[in-house]
Structure 1
Amino acid sequence: MRKLIASAFVSLDGVVQAPGGPDEDPAEGFAYGGWMFGYFDEAMALSGSGFDGKDRELVLGRRTYEIFEAYWPNQPDDNPVARTFNSTKKHVASRTLKTLHWKNSVLLGNDAAQAIAVLKTQAGRDLQIIGSSNLIQSLQAASLIDEYHLWTFPVVLGRGKRLFEAGAKPGALRLVSSRTSSTGVVMSAYIPAGDIQLGSLG
């Protein structure tokens, strides 16, 4: 059974909206698009932290798919991330798109969670969600995510779409790896660890 890995850039207060640029996702007047770029250093290689999709198939929500489709096919062939994203299979969750123009892209159908559950039982590469915060909400609620790769940036945004919105399914996570950049970005991987263990410090 293949894994489903969710990868996201997240602020200290849990926001994942538009980390890459002002025009990425200005929904609901979000004014801080591009908030992660002041924090990059040499240690923050996308490939080393599993954000490049290498040896995986991508799972994308509609908005992230449209952003990626407009950008990655136009990058030079010597860009390794572009080569991976353009060549790998992409599973897209959308109820509005009818045709996908980015090569190797397929629609998941009306029930994305059910489609992903079926994909996980099939032979093949692990599946990776990048961005796609709305889709993460649905798949987290269905207990389909096997691992989280999170880069937590030392910035508080105060508003915006969050990795875990109100009503997220409660559960514990276990840290399996972590390192920190020179700019204070914490690059961590977590796996679900069952129910939350409750108790008292008194």
Structure 2
Amino acid sequence: MRVTCETGSTGVCFAEARSHPASKGNEEEVGGGQDRSHRFISLDGVVEAPGGEDFKHRNWSFAFDRGEDGDQFKLDEALAAEVLLIGRRTYESFADAWPKYTGPLADKYNSMPKYVVSSTLTDPQWNNTHVIAGDVVGEVTKLKEQVDGEIQIPGSIRLVQELIENDLVDEIHLMTFPVILGTGRRLLGETTDKTTWKLTESRTVGEGIPITIFQQAGR
């Protein structure tokens, strides 16, 4: 399994979701599955609220045209997920919006397994949702062993940082927008040790927006 990560604190800005209320935010793969983190990120590393929320520069990613290639990349990326792994705030945003919609991406999200990390959520209403309430590192490690496919982490900045700190993210996907925001939550904070990553894919879409994929070396 592989775990990958995508940026933004809540919601998604995929092609199908551009006009949806959920369009507010921002995955990896090993042994069995992979954890991948997918991020919309500014030049100064900010991943907060690229398409929504109460933020000084809310919707900042919408000021740039990703073009058809960029939209298709994000849609294909989302459809590749076997499991969503998300924090409580991202879950609430998704669960409030996606059940109202149909289409390839909405149908995928509404039916696929979802794991939400929360110490307070006890009765999730969104279809096929499971709660991780205890040992996050231990539970995600087990999830990676059980899932045969890709685990994606949209939004959920704090969760992504915890998983990176504990060596549980295999790939980071970045769509970098040509803007310096000067404020906001950033993707990477301090870690207790160094890790090495290799660039596995790079392309430019739309209005000069680079897409880069980094895989942890040795995986």
Q: Does 1:16 align with 2:47?
A: yes
Q: Distance in 2 between matches of 1:50 and 1:6?
A: 15
Q: Please show how residues 41-190 of structure 1 align to structure 2 within 5 Å.
A: 41-47=67-73, 50-75=76-101, 77=102, 79-167=103-191, 169-190=193-214
Mark the structure with the bigger radius of gyration: 1
Q: Normalized per residue, which structure has more helix?
A: 2
Q: Alignment partner of 1:115: what SS?
A: helix
Structure 1 runs (4+) greater than 4 angstroms displaced:
46-50
Q: Distance in 2 between matches of 1:20 and 1:48?
A: 14
Q: Which ranges of structure 2 fall in alignment gaps of 5 or more residues?
A: 1-31
Tell me which amino acid in the other structure corresponds to 1:143. D
Shift of residue 55, structure 1, vs aligned partner: 4.1
Q: Alignment partner of 1:82: what SS?
A: helix
Equivalent residue number for residue 39 of structure 1: 64
Is this contact kept in 1: 2:81–2:152, CA < 8 A?
no
Q: Which ranges of structure 1 fall in alignment gaps of 5 or more residues?
A: 195-202
Q: Distance in 2 between matches of 1:49 and 1:74?
A: 18
Which piece of structure 1 moves more, 79-88 or 134-143? Answer: 79-88
Tell me which amino acid in the other structure corresponds to 1:37. F
Give the count of matched residue pairs.
186
Root-mean-square deviation (CA), in Å?
1.8
Equivalent residue number for residue 33 of structure 2: 2
Shift of residue 17, structure 1, vs aligned partner: 0.6
Q: Percent identity?
A: 37
TM-score scaled by length of structure 1 = 0.85
Q: Distance in 1 between matches of 2:188 and 2:215?
A: 15
Q: Deviations over 1:11-60 (max 9, x none)?
A: 11111111112xx2x3xxx3111110121221112555654243421001
